[in-house]
Amino acid sequence: MAATRVISDFSSKKHNHKSCVKSAVKKAESICIDRGMRLTRLRRKILELVWSRHGPLGAYDILQLMNKEEGKVLPNTVYRGLDFLIEAGLIHRLDSMNAFMGCADPVSRHSGQFLICRSCESAAEIHDAGIEQTLGRDAKRVGFSVEQQTIEVLGLCPSCSSD
Amino acid sequence: MAATRVISDFSSKKHNHKSCVKSAVKKAESICIDRGMRLTRLRRKILELVWSRHGPLGAYDILQLMNKEEGKVLPNTVYRGLDFLIEAGLIHRLDSMNAFMGCADPVSRHSGQFLICRSCESAAEIHDAGIEQTLGRDAKRVGFSVEQQTIEVLGLCPSCSSD
DNA sequence: TTCGTTAGCGTAATATCATTACATTTTATT
DNA sequence: AATAAAATGTAATGATATTACGCTAACGAA
């Protein structure tokens, strides 16, 4: 049986965050080159901002940050950037909270499986291939052809549930 | 291994829809009585409208229908009704499409597992207890306490994929 | 029954999230 | 350099959801 992987855990205080933003951008650059996609300045900036939170971030939060760090930017611009990044598999969208989060494993395309803390609004991404397969099998049984799976589990993260 | 149940399938042309709305309301009434919840006229009306579509329906669609069939109603009223119905387990919210759908099995509380057709925007609800358990186990492994699971699979329903 | 409390609803305003349409600029290609 | 395609600028608007506050109806206790 395939093991469940933790793609990105709830962010701990001791991890070096700056370096993980950097690493995400580096991965993104190499992926985009490989695939002939253009990681422009704007797109890279948005990716950095998403990663800077190390957790779900709303489009308008990003907009605010952009306006602070770049010149004036309108919503549309942010959404375009986000669309690109999603398309490239560099970030995921969390439907249940209208937010976006960097993907720590953008090389292997996968469905999003998230544990979302309702208290601190942090999130962890996991990947359980078994679930993906089972869901695929279930869908097939009713003649449904799967294009994308979204799994979002709401609850309390370790640190919030110990409070 | 627990079997996967189809809670509500993609709606077929030959099923008697009127009777299934009726049955949903009847179930809802008995559930609310049992639990000491009040299924008011407004709430029942909203439940009927949700069921009348036999598929995901947006809050503002419901609002329009309310305005047609009842007097003037404002968004707030609809959302309050929807919140109640969700709370009672009588409908589910589909986060990926900002829509609401009646639950055909409101007696047994369960997480929502949906197959959503991107073409005709219909949806089927299934319940695979195995997935629910597995996800729970995965969460436990990282110390996450689950309160709610949402699974939304996007793709093509049988009739749309044969086109 | 009456009183006090709570739950439900009416109403308006506003917050939040996302897209459309079209002009302009940049980049890649020839 | 000329052209086409992709990316971005800009404004307006659309779609979804919540807050705040006041009134009324229902419910339980005295």
The Cα–Cα gap between B57 and B93 comes to 9
For A123, counting Cβ atoms within 10 Å of its Cβ (0-12 exposed, 13-18 middle, 19+ buried), the class is buried
Which of B140, B153, B154 to probe the A interface (max A CBs under 10 A)? B153
In A30-129, the DSSP E strands lie at 91-94, 99-102, 112-117, 123-128
Q: Within 66-85 of chain B, which residues have Cβ less than 7 Å from strand C? A: 71-77, 80-81, 84
Q: How far is the CA of B72 from the C1' of C3 (A)?
A: 34
B27 CB contacts (<8 Å, ≥6 apart)? B106, B107
pLDDT, mean over chain B: 95
CATH classification (class only), B14-105? mainly alpha
Tens digit of pLDDT at every position of chain A (163 positions) = 567 999 999 977 778 889 999 999 999 999 999 999 999 999 999 999 999 998 999 999 999 999 999 899 999 999 999 999 999 999 999 999 999 999 999 999 898 999 999 999 999 999 999 999 999 999 999 999 999 999 999 999 999 998 7
Residue-wise pLDDT for A100-138, tens only, equals: 999 999 999 898 999 999 999 999 999 999 999 999 999
Residue-wise pLDDT for A129-142, tens only, equals: 999 999 999 999 99
Is there a shared CATH topology between the A13-104 domain and the A110-163 domain?
no
Domain boundaries, chain A: 13-104, 110-163
**Contact state of B155 with A143 under an 8 Å Cβ cutoff:** no
The Cα–Cα gap between B23 and B157 comes to 25
CB distance B139 to A154 below 8 Å: no
CB distance B135 to A153 below 8 Å: yes
The CATH architecture one would assign to domain A13-104 is Orthogonal Bundle (1.10)
Q: Which residues of A touch B150 (CB under 8 A)?
A: 96, 150-154
**Contact state of A147 with B128 under an 8 Å Cβ cutoff:** no
The Cα–Cα gap between A68 and A63 comes to 9
**Contact state of A139 with B153 under an 8 Å Cβ cutoff:** yes
The Cα–Cα gap between A81 and A78 comes to 5
Which of A117, A150, A160 to probe the B interface (max B CBs under 10 A)? A150
CATH classification (class only), B110-163? alpha beta
If pLDDT is split at 50, 70 and 90, which confidence band does B1 have?
A: low
